[in-house]
Structure 1
Amino acid sequence: MKEDSLKDKVVIITGATSGIGESCALAFGKVGAKIVITGRNQDKLNDSKAKLEGEGITVLAILADAGVIADNKRMAETVLSEFGKIDILINNAGISMRALFEHVDFEVFHKVMETNFWGTIYATKFCLPSIIENKGTVIGISSINGFRGTPARTAYTASKYAMNGFFESLRTEVMKKGVHVLVACPGFTASNIRKNALTAHGTAQGESPRDESKMMSSDEVAEEILNATLKRKRDLTLTTQGKLLKFLNKWMPGRLDHIVYNQLKKEKDSPFH
């Protein structure tokens, strides 16, 4: 597929007021797609909408919480009412966490699963009929954590493993209906997700424990996702580190346990200090 094949396609991106989500909105919008963005903060939605419209992109902004069933139903109904169809759904809304499991409140675990996993289920469920009708695409923005668990991120890892399993099953269900399912695993990306990561008791971490300047930018990730969509790829794993982790976890998982532990121990304010 060529970039112009996305002209006038209707693309929904959940959690698109910053990071990878907003970058995807720009990338898909610049090749002519009609963009729908969602978010939980009206001011941030307004800012993202203005930024996209400043690039000449057609955009509809919907205030919606990914973890709420009714919000997802309303989102799909609003898009169908406005544009008459849904071609591509990018399940991007997500939150992270950082705390040892023994200290994590159940509410934190529930919140991460509700947004990352259930949010994906809800949005996909309500958008899928139109996507099937249009032989469109469902994309899950997962993580290397969906293939390799990391300590102090048990809830995040669980949510991404669940996402990956869901999409693997769904892909097989819809592959004869012309629907494309892509699971994108960006690896560490410079975004707000670590700053907004939840602590053991649900407050925002506030500061990233990693050097964001050395990470892949969200704009670079969005371009890779756009190209993978055009090529209708099955999986997309980004960064050398991400690909290496997947390889090592398959062939030497025990050794990788120690490598991952030692890496986390080096992080700023590591729970293993």
Structure 2
Amino acid sequence: MKVLFIGDVVGRVGRIAVRSLLPNIVSRYKIDVVIANGENVAGGFGITELTAFELFTAGIQVITTGNHVWDKKETLEYISREPRLLRPLNYPPGAPGASSAIISLPEGKKLAVLNVSGRIFMQSLDCPFRTAQAEIERLRGITSNIIIDFHAEATSEKISFGYYVDGTVSAVVGTHTHVQTADEKILDGGTAYITDVGMTGPVNSVIGIDRHQIVERFLTMMPRKFEVASGKAMLCAVVIELDASSGRATAIQRLQLTHP
């Protein structure tokens, strides 16, 4: 089983990159499942029903999110009726939406996708380690093929989480920082890991935002509205190969493509 996980899709530039590049990636790498983090897909902050629909129609099967999931008011209602759009598991009880999804594949195979948020330099949510452990145990009753989007700021927290769940899930893919790391590996227990998959959005930007606006902010420290940068785009992702019978990862490969 081959899984493509696409890094945080940022704004219209990111959506165009996905729509333009995804068909060739799926064909070239013989991808079975496509997952993407979409918490920045609507103008750089949050996700809407329309922008989610655009990603789904482009070929993405599950959309994960993170701390920007609630930035658009309409998401509160939309996520309650769209099981393919996930929010982090460790929000307190009562938060709308699901944090995991099961994808059914040919020959009776299944893949679970789980969304978890870190806490270091982030919101003070419930413990990601303990909440994830309980949900992983539940999901393993359905399938041994489990991919986790761990949306977090601190590399130490991401790495620690990877070791904590090693051997119980197929892969831990870090998201949030928008900068792809070069530490992809298979951990001792058979879990594929990368600290951050990177972003899908404008190349000449500051993590997706217009670079001139960000530089001005650093120089003046004055508040202002940020906008997604324009121009050339990049798509960052990882291809994870799994042994579907055991749930163990056999390979992980970084991708970074540009468009146009």
TM-score (norm 2): 0.44
Task: Say which structure is richer in strand.
Answer: 2
TM-score (norm 1): 0.43
Structure with the greater alpha carbon radius of gyration: 1
Task: Say which structure is richer in helix.
Answer: 1
